[in-house]
Structure 1
Amino acid sequence: MEKLSPNIQFPAPFSWADFKQIDVENTFDLDSAYKICQSIANNHYENFPIASFFIPKHLRKHIYSIYAFARYADDIADEKSNSDQATRVAILENLEYLIINSDDENTKHYPIILALNETIKQMNLPVDTISRLLTAFKMDIYFSQPNTFDDLMNYCEYSANPIGELILRLFNEYNEETATLSNKITSALQLINFWQDISIDLKNNRRYIPKSLMDQYLLQNIPNFDNVHTNIENPAKIEEFGQFNALFEYLFSETENLLNDGSKLINKLNNKKLQFEIKLIVNSGRRILAKEKSRKYHLLFRRPKLNIIDYIRILLKSILWKY
């Protein structure tokens, strides 16, 4: 990309409640930029820890900047942004331009970009890994149901795996072996989120379950599938719940195998704090997956969430982790 797209304004992040009035008349220093990123990270609900107490203090601001950037780009790609597809893609391309061209004077107006560029510089992070994230958000804008499970995993390669790779690099733990295992964890977490959010995605006419699996389980041509959540008051009317349960069992099994294989990463790491952070993340994934397993087709109607008891269990299991 050689220059910014003309006449494209960057919106303030839609989840960025305290800073919606920011516009191109404002400029920021690095300290305030990182504080804004921290606020975004700390105020957004997630299943998995973000820069927790166990992450070294000097690295937390860098994790905040990466996370805030991902949230920002996700907000732009979101259909609720009230912009057409071409405009949203142009904004994402402008973001990429400001990352590739970090000395551009426009960066000072956008604290998330300012902080991320400093993180890239200080920690010697590859820009192409950030670009992969932006590719995922463009895929979201032009969403289409994946044809195969491999297509879904390809999406994870862009949407989830770059985050794990960046974390490894921040801790100087990145190599071919650790990256492969990390990718299994992050892909599994992405799948867990898909299954967790299926009731919401159906309302938004999004199917992340591959077409080939829908065909295999005789579900692709169910006329009321996209509106299945409206049958919650009388789910017995839907005869296909047996097939849904079988399909979910397959999806849960594939997801669990990925997560368990990826957990071998812990033994490959030298940094004890990162080891514990990964234990927390893996156990968080296992806990929400267990809730999904217990619900089966009820996932079509309600989104499972973690509660305080779940978080206590996650912490205890991480402390008592057995290799």
Structure 2
Amino acid sequence: MSKSDAGTMSVKKAEQECRRIALSHYENFLVASVLLPRRLKQPFYNVYAFCRTADDLADESANPTSALRALDQCQTSLDAAFAGRPAAGIFTALAKTIEQFQLEKQPFNDLLDAFRQDQQKTRYETMGELLDYCRRSANPVGRIVLRLAAIDADTADLERSDQICTGLQLANFWQDVARDHAIGRVYLPQSELLAWGVSKEMLSEMIQRQTTYPQMKAAIQAQCDRTQTYFDCGEPLCDHVPKWLGRNLRLFVGGGRATLEAIRAVDFDVIRVRPRVSKATQVGLILRSLIGP
């Protein structure tokens, strides 16, 4: 086998691995991939596989020290991929996508930086701090997607993309207050909690009793109302992009809104129960995306 043939086989094997990761980890991504043009499916798989792998390194390592070490190794592999010298595995496929779409490196660096931050910072003092985290943990994904779609987005559309991505991240935080607390993380900023009369001690007490006091419910309601505005501001992007991407964006915006509605449906009692979007609602969102404009 020639060196060229070996290289082609290496890329194909890497792409198969990326496809396996993408289609086995995330139900919504599986649905969204149906809406992708055939020519873009593999590039999306390649990028998603990187994001999923890095996220798993951050969340599934034995301890923060191990996670940071693994993320540093991931950074080294990312640097090599952008330099045209990719390591074997998913980075071989990612390097092909980087070259094909002339992807910028900063969004990928930002994602890894956010994953590192999760190992070192477990509480946030202000909403500004949390939004800065979202700027690196969520918004880069939207910007990479716009690049893959060959959209020369202006500042307004980039801001709309950021609004959608930040809204999705925040909705997940409000849904997972108890789950995050169980792994030592509190994303709801301390200043927001104190504004509604919720102290650190009160939060710990609620977790212990598995109930949500009225003050905490009010704090969560305020955050849900605020998060709704992110979707309102970002959704016009759906009309500024190709139809296939608009459908995908509406699917995710709809999912974010549905998460907020699920939180409202349990009367913001997010510590006693984790709000869930019903299967019927999920199916409705998917159908609207498939047959929508």
Aligned 8 A contact 2:22 2:29 in 1: no
Q: Counterparts of 1:226-305 in structure 2 under 5 Å?
A: 226=204, 228-232=206-210, 235=211, 241-269=213-241, 271-305=242-276
Instruction: Write out per-residue CA displacement over residues 1-57 of structure 1, whole angstroms, 9 at most, x where no aligned residue.
Output: xxxxxxxxxxxxxxxxxxxxxxxxxxx711121221122122224556664211111
Farther-moved stretch of structure 1 (288-297 vs 130-139): 288-297
Instruction: Write out per-residue CA displacement over residues 45-92 of structure 1, whole angstroms, 9 at most, x where no aligned residue.
Output: 4556664211111111111122111111111112x411442x422332
Give the helix-richer structure, 1 or 2: 2
Instruction: Write out per-residue CA displacement over residues 264-301 of structure 1, whole angstroms, 9 at most, x where no aligned residue.
Output: 111222x1111111111111111121101212442112
- Aligned-partner Cα distance in 2 for 1:132–1:228: 34
User: SS where residue 264 of structure 1 aligns?
Assistant: helix
- Of 62, 67, 81, which residue of structure 2 is paired with 1:82? 62
Q: Could you say if the C-alpha distance between residues 307 and 265 of structure 1 is closer, same or farther in structure 2, counting changes exceeding 3 Å? A: same
| Alignment-mate amino acid for residue 265 of structure 1 | L
Q: Could you say if the C-alpha distance between residues 37 and 207 of structure 1 is closer, same or farther in structure 2, counting changes exceeding 3 Å? A: same
Match of 2:10 in 1: 29
User: SS where residue 33 of structure 2 aligns?
Assistant: coil
| Alignment-mate amino acid for residue 255 of structure 1 | T
- Aligned-partner Cα distance in 1 for 2:249–2:268: 30
Residue 226 of structure 1, CA deviation = 3.0
Q: Could you say if the C-alpha distance between residues 35 and 304 of structure 1 is closer, same or farther in structure 2, counting changes exceeding 3 Å? A: farther
| Alignment-mate amino acid for residue 229 of structure 2 | N
- Of 108, 122, 129, which residue of structure 1 is paired with 2:107? 129
Aligned 8 A contact 2:193 2:216 in 1: no
Q: State whether structure 2 residue 134 is matched by structure 1 residue 156.
A: yes
Residue 94 of structure 1, CA deviation = 2.4
Match of 1:314 in 2: 285
Match of 2:151 in 1: 173
Q: Could you say if the C-alpha distance between residues 169 and 105 of structure 1 is closer, same or farther in structure 2, counting changes exceeding 3 Å? A: closer
Instruction: Write out per-residue CA displacement over residues 196-217 of structure 1, whole angstroms, 9 at most, x where no aligned residue.
Output: 2112112122110001011111
User: SS where residue 263 of structure 2 aligns?
Assistant: helix
Residue 166 of structure 1, CA deviation = 0.5
Match of 1:10 in 2: none
Match of 2:171 in 1: 192
- Aligned-partner Cα distance in 2 for 1:168–1:290: 28
Q: State whether structure 2 residue 47 is matched by structure 1 residue 66.
A: yes
- Aligned-partner Cα distance in 2 for 1:50–1:125: 24
* TM-score for both structures, normalised by structure 2: 0.89
| Alignment-mate amino acid for residue 116 of structure 2 | K
Residue 137 of structure 1, CA deviation = 0.5
- Of 191, 197, 201, which residue of structure 2 is paired with 1:212? 191
| Alignment-mate amino acid for residue 279 of structure 1 | R
| Alignment-mate amino acid for residue 315 of structure 1 | I
Match of 1:92 in 2: 71
- Aligned-partner Cα distance in 2 for 1:320–1:307: 20
Aligned 8 A contact 1:202 1:227 in 2: no
Match of 1:115 in 2: 93
Total equivalences in the alignment = 284
Structure 1, unpaired ranges of 5+ = 1-27
